[in-house]
Each structure stands twice: as C-alpha cells, then as structure tokens.
Amino acid sequence: MEKYLMGIDAGNTSSKVVIFDLYGKMIATAATPSMHFKRRGEGFEEFDVTELWNLISVCIKEAVEKAAVAPEQIAGVGVTSFGNGVVFLDKEGYAIAPGCFSQDYRANSIIEMYQREGTYEKINDIVKGTLFAGEPGPILRWYKENYREIYDQIGGILQFKDYIMYRLTNVFATDLNCFGGAFMVDMNTMDYSRELMDLYGIPELYDALPKLATEPTEIVGTVTKEASEITGLAEGTPVAAGMMDILACLVGAGATGEEVYTAVAGSWCINETHSDRIIPNASSNMPYLKKGEYLNCSYTGASGSNYEWFTRILGGTAKLEAQDRNLSQYAVLDELIEMVPIEKVKVFFSPFVAQPSIHMNAKANFFNIDMSTSYAEICYSVAEGVAFIHKHHIDFLRNAGLPVKEIRLTGGTAKSHVWNQIFANVLQVPIVGVDCEETGAQGVAIAAGIGAGVYKDYEDAFEKAVKVKEPVLPDDSTFPIYEKRYKEWCQLNEIMKTYWDEKSKG
C-alpha cells in the first residue's frame, strides 16, 4: 500500500494542510483564512484558539478527501506553526483567552521593566538569544500584571503547533526546538529552568509547562478516536513532535549543508544557518537537529508582510491593470519592479510594518517621494527594502564568522524570479529556490516520515523528497549601486531611531 505524509503549517496569515507522497510531490492542499482578531489594544495580535483548530480540522478532512487516499495510507503527521506567542489553557485543557501571535507586542512595557530591573541580560544569557515582547515569558508576565483573573486559571502553556498536536493526540507536549526558540528553555541544560521562570516573574507556571520532546522526529502520540472522527485521519496515525516554522522551512528546503543559509521571506524576516557556536547578540541560537549544534538566527517581524500590506493598501493600480490584462496582480507588480532602472531610483522604503523590529517603536516609511516619483519606483522600493532588511540580518551572521556560499529562499516572495534576482544582487550570493511552495509543511512531513520509519534519516528524506531549482546568480554590475543605496538606507534608519527613542518617552 502506497504511503503518504501530512504536514500542517499554521502561520500568522493562514494555516495550510498538505499531503505529500514520499518523493515530495504535493498531492493535496487545503488552507484556512486569516484569523486575526480586531485589536483590543495597542500591540495586541490575537486569534481564537478553538475556532482556528476547528478550521484546521476541516482542512485536514478536506485535504484527505482531495488526495483520494485511504486515511490508513497516511503514515505520519507533522505539525509546525509560527514560533513564540502563546496559547493559554486551564487545568482541563480548554483555551481560556485569545491566543497571541508572535507579532504581539503588548508586552513592550514588560521588556522595559526587565531592562530596568537588570533581569533582561540574565534571561538572554540563559536562553542564548535576544528577548522580545512577543515571546511567551513576557506575555505571561503581562497577563499576571494586567489580567490576573485569566493568569490564575492557567494550567497549561503551549505554542499553537503544540495545541494542534494536543487536539490530535490528547498528549500535552512540545518539542525542544520550539520551546527553546521561544526562550522557555535553559540552553545550557536543554531543559526547563526554575531560575528562568523566576526571572520572568512567573515561577508558579513552572508546572504548567508541557512534556519536552528532544527530537522533532519523536512520535509524541497517535490520533485519537475523537480526532479521527473530526478530521478523517485514521485512529492511531503517528504524530511527530515537529518544530518551529523557521526550522521546518530549513528542513523543507534541505538546507543542512555547510555554508548554506535559509532566508524565509514570509510574514517574518527570518535568516538562519547552523553551527556548533553560540553567536552573541543573535536573535536566537535555537536547539538544532543535531546535538551540539545550534540554529543561529537573525530576524525581525516583517518581510513579505510588507508586500502583503502594500498590495492590500496601495496595490489598486496593479490590481486594475491585472484585471484588464487577465493576469495576477503579482505578475503585474513583477513587471513594474523589473522595468525600474535601479541607478535612477531615489525612493527608499523602511520595511517595518510589524514588530519586533530594529527598534521597539519602528514603523514603515517611504522616503524621497516627489512629484516625479512613479508608481513603479514605489513598487520597486518595497521589494528592495525587504531585501535590505534581509541583508541587515545576513550581514550580522556573516560578520559573526558564519560563511555563506548559497541562500535557500523560501516564503511567498520566493515564487517571483524578479524578487530572487533582487535578493541575489543585494546579498551578492546565489539564491536557490525549492520546487515546493510549502516548505514548512514539507519540513514537518519529513520529520514525521523519519519518526514513522518511512525515511531512514534526514539525508535519505532530502535525497528522495527535496528538489532544488537552478540558482539565480548575482549580477556583479549592480553591486556598487546596491552598496551605495544600502548605506543610505542604513543612515535613514539611524536617523529615525532618534525619533523612535522620543516615542519611547511618551
């Protein structure tokens, strides 16, 4: 009987369920709509936990039906989701408050409090990263200070992917990569820490932490009878521990080689590689696939989401032209971006539509617009600005002594050859795409396949299931132009930091 694997990728904008054959071919997909709540306050980025699970369970059933395979043919299920944020459960396992997305920044005041108290650097030393407001610790402390009636009911803390696993298996568990990347683990011991919970100011929640699976491939449980009836999966189907979406994208892109980076140009601006070193001041040094190695990350909270905002708010001109020409809006935008002579561009875009960012109060901006500015130039500046924020992070990793010879680009913008070329030229490194539009789902499907025994190991899975495209090579004639423009872009951001500092003072 032919076997298949299911990957579930719950993102900030939508959640997707994908069924793959063992050779990486997508057999069926289904997706939920966005589930963002209307903001209840400054910095709130929330969703209905139970309703999003309900939508995902419908998508699971839809994908199984579309695939036209027997549920018993699905050898394993892997789950990933946006990292950080938090899901609050009571002692009976029911959601008691809206879930928080990773871009929630209500707890900026908590970060400032940690900094004043002198605990901020102590936390960073334990977790080997740079704490920001959208992580579980600060959010939970915010609830303790502001919504005590909710805080006192908390019996369980999960990331959203863990909640999906919980609903599938009735097992309260997470994985080391996900909770390590969410700064809930002491990276020296690779385990939970009462000292860390004390520093967060939430010591009473230590016993609310889930079982910690040490490997993404570990089978944490199997699909229950109740979940089987809801989703159409076969009762007893193995469910792997999975991993945070940024590691899932790296795995789905097969980017485990030496001097290979992964850039995820999705909702977040993720830039990562792996080594046996802790990189000081990195966004995160997460648990990796191999013991003794770390996923070295530099990131901020907005990459392709800048483009999503632009097309939604300012993309009307391209949308109308696309309708007239029977093309997609993105195809028209690609044409506009490609036609712009970069040596004549004056406009800059700061791609900070979401937090965390280069400053706690950073916001997106256009600079140097005048009466001669064309719509095409504005479109181009958005693409360039997104490439520049990736360069900001990739240069940090390079300067830390992590060489790069190739970048695997994933995320929505990776579908565009025009964007791939801009990235190659800005970063001065070959850009390699993957012949799979859902690399996060593929990554956790691979983990499930290893856990279920259909692949021997990651190398076996990559050889069978990961197909890379021809590299997009950088055009060295553009290097001087981009180097000059990047320097100016950095200067503008430094100037804006003075204004953003003033905003911090109220």
Tokens of 71: 């549920």
Same domain, 392 and 502: yes
CB atoms within 10 A of CB 100: 29
438 is a domain residue: no
Residue 64: predicted pLDDT: 97
Same domain, 207 and 260: no
Going by C-alpha positions, the residue among 155, 206, 175 that lies closest to residue 81 is 175
Distance CA 224, CA 222 (A): 6
Distance CA 87, CA 179 (A): 13
Residue type, 11: G
Same domain, 192 and 261: no
Task: Read off the DSSP letter of residue 401.
Answer: T
Q: Which domain holds residue 306?
A: 255-433+475-506
Q: Which DSSP helix (H) or strand (E) runs through 482?
A: helix 479-504
Residue 148: predicted pLDDT: 97
Same domain, 419 and 319: yes
Same domain, 259 and 408: yes
Going by C-alpha positions, the residue among 141, 100, 104, 146 that lies closest to residue 123 is 141
Three-state DSSP at 197 gives helix
For strands 211-213 and 173-175, give the pairing.
Answer: parallel
Three-state DSSP at 427 gives helix
Residue type, 98: P
Angle CA 373–379–381, to nearest 5: 80
Same domain, 296 and 372: yes
Largest CA distance in the chain: 66
Query: 213, 239, 267 — which closes off a domain?
Result: 213
Three-state DSSP at 80 gives strand
Peptide bond into 341 cis (omega under 30): no
Query: 187, 213, 239 — which closes off a domain?
Result: 213
Say how many domains are in the chain: 2
Going by C-alpha positions, the residue among 97, 147, 127 that lies closest to residue 193 is 127
Same domain, 337 and 406: yes
Query: 213, 238, 267 — which closes off a domain?
Result: 213
420-459 in b/e form (b: 16+ CB < 10 A) is bbbbbbbbebbbbbbebbbbbbbbbbbbbbbbbebbeebe
Same domain, 202 and 340: no
Per-residue pLDDT of the chain (506 residues; tens, 9 = 90+): 899 999 999 988 889 999 999 999 999 999 998 777 778 888 999 999 999 999 999 999 999 999 999 999 999 999 999 999 999 999 999 999 999 999 999 999 999 999 999 999 999 999 999 999 999 999 999 999 999 999 999 999 999 999 999 999 999 999 999 999 999 999 999 999 999 999 999 999 999 999 999 999 999 999 999 999 999 999 999 999 999 999 999 999 999 999 999 999 988 999 999 999 999 999 999 999 989 999 999 999 889 899 999 999 999 999 999 999 999 999 999 999 999 999 999 999 999 999 889 998 999 999 999 999 999 999 999 999 999 999 999 999 999 999 999 999 998 889 999 999 999 999 999 999 999 999 999 999 999 999 999 999 999 999 999 999 999 999 999 999 999 999 999 999 999 999 999 877 76
Sequence-distant (≥ 6) Cβ neighbours of residue 472 within 8 angstroms: 417, 420, 421, 423, 424, 430, 431, 432, 433
Tokens of 326: 């029977």
CA dihedral 38, 41, 43, 48 (to 10 degrees): -40
162 is a domain residue: yes
Q: Is there a contact between 338 and 347 (Cβ–Cβ < 8 Å)?
A: no
Q: Is there a contact between 432 and 410 (Cβ–Cβ < 8 Å)?
A: no
235 is a domain residue: no
CATH of the domain at 49: 3.30.420.40
Residue 24: predicted pLDDT: 97
Same domain, 279 and 187: no
20 is a domain residue: no
Sequence-distant (≥ 6) Cβ neighbours of residue 119 within 8 angstroms: 199
Question: What's the residue count for the chain?
Answer: 506
451 is a domain residue: no
Q: Which DSSP helix (H) or strand (E) runs through 348?
A: strand 348-350
Same domain, 266 and 365: yes
Cross-strand pairs, 431: 407, 472
Tokens of 392: 């900001």
Cross-strand pairs, 10: 15, 81
Provide the terminal-to-terminal Cα distance of the chain, rounded to the nearest Å: 65
Sequence-distant (≥ 6) Cβ neighbours of residue 207 within 8 angstroms: none
Same domain, 37 and 128: yes
Same domain, 306 and 192: no
- pTM, full prediction: 0.94
157 is a domain residue: yes
247 is a domain residue: no
Residue 38: predicted pLDDT: 74
What are the two backbone dihedrals, phi and then psi, of residue 76, each rounded to the nearest 5 degrees?
-170, 160
Residue 292: predicted pLDDT: 92
Distance CA 116, CA 110 (A): 10
Residue 506: predicted pLDDT: 64
290 is a domain residue: yes
Residue 505: predicted pLDDT: 72
